[in-house]
Structure 1
Amino acid sequence: MKTIIDIARAAGVAKSTVSRYLNGGSVSDATREKIERIIKQNQYVPNTFAQSLKAKRTSIIGTIVPRLDSYAVSQTLMGIDDELRGRQYQLLIANTNQDLEREIEFIYEMARQKVSGLLLLAAQVTERHLKAVRDCKIPVILIGQQHADLHSVIHDDVTAGYLMGKHILEKGHRHIAYLGVTEQDIAVGVRRKQGFQRALREYGNCDARFYTSGFRMNEAVTAADLLFEDRVPTVIVCATDNIALGVMKAASLRHILIPSGVSVTGFGDYEVTEIVHPALTTMRFYYREAGQLAAENIIALVNGEEVAKVSVSGCEIIQRESVDNLTGLSIQ
């Protein structure tokens, strides 16, 4: 049996009665027992997606992500799914593969699917994003980025950058390279670097140079190779763990030892960073918890409740083996 019409015929009731039962409506005890028995016998699974499309308000929350092969994205999605399932909501995921056009298209597509709310993991927020949100008239929460016109759940990137800068300076490093990403990504490309630069200003007397990489590991290998052509600093602070892993590979290809030849740090605390040798000093972000918080907030918005415009998820430095302690050494 594949439809509620089949169930209704077998139970000898109207289709509307089965529909009312499936949607939690009032039916007699005898009818409920009959419908439940037939559903169980035939292993019928209601098409809740189709039900939601017919309803005035659905139990589906859309989530648009830039890529699926990302530790941060996957952890965030698990947090979102945990919270939504606990609240009897469903998760609908769209992957843009870092294509801005697809990102805009998916906002409209999610609205056509009648999602109740939308979670958006975007590298940047353009006027086209804002127009799409206005056109669709559904609650939206940004995850990882912040914009004055939208609710958001962000990581504390400024503090994270500052704490990492303070850490490597306290370890005695003064010849520093920072390998970041394009400033189109405000959180990672701008705010993380701003926090790091604040630490440099407080300490002073630093030779710090800034370089740019892509997010992917192979792009970081190429960027690191160019960096090493320029010079070999005592430490390379990388804007993400993926970039840090690319730097470590580039250093290995040049037979530069870590940390004695060059120290390396990252941001993210991906699982692999504890396994690689030497284990990577990094900044832990609570991706899963941020996903849960975003899901909690979007449900509140869907229900017309007040939600803070910006919710901030914390961070914690994880000290491992990839940073040499130069305190007390004379560095020329």
Structure 2
Amino acid sequence: MGTVRKITMKEIAELSGVGKSTVSRYFNGGYVKEETRKRIASIIQQYNYEPNSFARLKAKSSRMIGIIAPCLDSIVTSQVLMSIDRHLRQEGYSTIIINTDHQETLELQYLEKLWRMNVDGLILSATHLSDAHRTLLSQIDIPVVVVAQNYPDGICIINDDYYGGKFVGSYIGSRHHRSVACLCVDTWDEAIGVVRRQGILDGLKESGIERPYVYLSDFSFAHACTQVERILDEHSIDALICSTDRQALGAYKVIRERGYRIPQDISIISFGGYDISELLTPQLATVRFDTEYSGKCCARTILRMIRNEEVQPIQYVNYTFIEGESVCTRTPHPSDE
């Protein structure tokens, strides 16, 4: 074969037997059938094609880190993102932060898109890791750090959700509560909906509370209000454990509207430690995970991976307890004596 000539995107489409829009989706990180993807990749390799917008694909380093976040309105997520960005910036790196609004399809699309944009590394803040996530992550050939979910096949940084949950369950039990409701999230969120929930239930069980009332809510204030209404309609409780401070805000509203006192009638405890929680009266009892450390750990880990240095596969973020004033001590039940 003679000298390789330059080729246009239109010609790539013709040689691949697909439309130009399919080739465009390929370069922009969209979904393309695997067989078609291989044909396009073969043509690109044969003609050394490189679109202008990706002209730096051969650069040794972009000094850019791609970050995929499930949302931007979560206080905890935003604090972690800000910490990551700050520590990477101090090391001369810039970040590309993409919000997927908890949509798995968008997470997959942008993981692949950022990978093709020649970022030096990827940070995925995930609420769920599906089989599709794991398959794609196994194909990505640049450093990847997963945050907030356990990723046994790679590198992850996770909150110590089990022992944080177990502490809360034990704390409520040690104060002699007996009719306890738990406002949990669904099991699609493994960290909070499975691991943290199991810690709570184990802590309660060890304290003699075998059958708490478990209700599911998403992370929104509105849905938490709806579920707390259901709990109060269906049960007489003396304590409520919420998965997040945002759920607890909904609980404060509903419980007070029903004429109950906090904590004299119903104790409330949750997870988050948001600054706004300190403004509640009585101050909310809550478990706070160290978001600043989490972000710093992410930045440090991805940079070490870029430098081909050894890192720990799983790193845990510890918690602190803000005791607040929203949990009281009940009169011991005769069985506690």
Q: What are the Cα deviations for residues 116-155 of structure 1, in whole angstroms up to 9, with x where unaligned?
A: 1111111111121122223332211111110211210000
Tell me which of 66, 69, 84 is aligned to 2:70.
Answer: 66
For residue 247 of structure 1, what is the aligned residue in structure 2? 251
Quote the Cα distance in structure 2 between the aligned partners of 1:196 and 1:174: 14
- Partner secondary structure for residue 300 of structure 1: helix
Shift of 1:60: 0.6
Residue 266 of structure 1 aligns to a residue in which SS?
A: strand
Alignment-derived partner of residue 143 in structure 1: 147
> 1:295 offset after TM fit, Å?
1.0
Find the aligned partners of 1:145 and 1:245 in 2 and give their Cα distance. 25
**Which one of 214, 218, 222 corresponds to residue 218 of structure 1?**
222
Other-structure match for 1:284? 288
Which amino acid is 1:110 matched to? L
Q: Is the 8 A contact 1:174 1:234 kept in 2?
A: yes
In the alignment, the residues of structure 1 paired with residue 75 and residue 130 of structure 2 have an alpha-carbon distance, to the nearest angstrom, of 25
Percent identity among equivalent residues?
Answer: 33
Q: 1:259 to 1:115 in 2, by over 3 A?
A: same
Q: State the partner residue of 2:102.
A: 98
What TM-score do you get using the length of structure 2 for normalisation? 0.80
Shift of 1:216: 0.8
Alignment of 1:1-332 (within 5 A): 55-328=59-332
Deviations 1:213-262 (A, max 9, x none): 11111110011111111113100001111111111111122222211121
Where do 4+ consecutive residues of structure 1 move more than 3 Å?
Answer: 49-54, 327-331
The answer to whether the 8 Å contact 2:54/2:117 transfers is no
Pick closer, same or farther for the CA change 1:276–1:93 going to 2, 3 Å: same
SS at match of 2:325: coil
User: Secondary structure of the equivalent of 2:68?
Assistant: strand
Asked if 1 retains the 8 angstrom alpha-carbon contact of 2:174 and 2:207, the reply is no
Distance 1:151 1:205, change over 3 A: closer
Give the Cα–Cα distance (whole angstroms) in 2 for the partners of residues 287 and 246 of structure 1: 23
Structure 1: tracts of 5 or more residues without a match? 1-48
Report the Cα distance in structure 2 between the residues aligned to 1:292 and 1:53, rounded to whole angstroms.
Answer: 28
Cα distance, 1:169 vs structure 2: 1.1
The one-letter code of the counterpart of 1:262 is: I
Distance in structure 1 (CA, Å) of the matches to 2:204 and 2:261: 25
Contact 2:183 2:216 in 1 (8 A): yes
Residues 330 and 255 of structure 1: is their aligned pair in 2 closer, same or farther, counting only changes over 3 Å? Answer: farther
For the 8 Å contact 1:77–1:288, the answer to whether it is kept is no
Structure 1: distance between partners of 2:180 and 2:333 = 16
Q: TM (normalized to structure 1)?
A: 0.81
Query: What amino acid sits opposite 1:198 in the alignment?
Result: D
In the aligned structure 2, how far is the partner of 1:52 from the partner of 1:74?
30
The one-letter code sitting in structure 2 at the alignment partner of 1:142 is V
Q: Secondary structure at the match of 2:168?
A: helix
Structure 2 Cα separation of the partners of residues 205 and 252 of structure 1: 25
CA distance in 2, matches of 1:228, 1:113: 51
* Offset at residue 203 of structure 1 (A): 2.0
The residue identity in structure 2 corresponding to 1:216 is: S
Distance in 2 between residues matched to 1:213 and 1:264, nearest whole Å: 16
Task: Say which SS state the counterpart of residue 77 (structure 2) adopts.
Answer: helix
Q: Give the whole-Å Cα distance in 2 for the aligned partners of 1:99 and 1:240.
A: 21
| SS of aligned partner of 1:131 | helix
When residues 273 and 330 of structure 1 are mapped into structure 2, their CA distance, relative to the original with a 3 A threshold, is farther
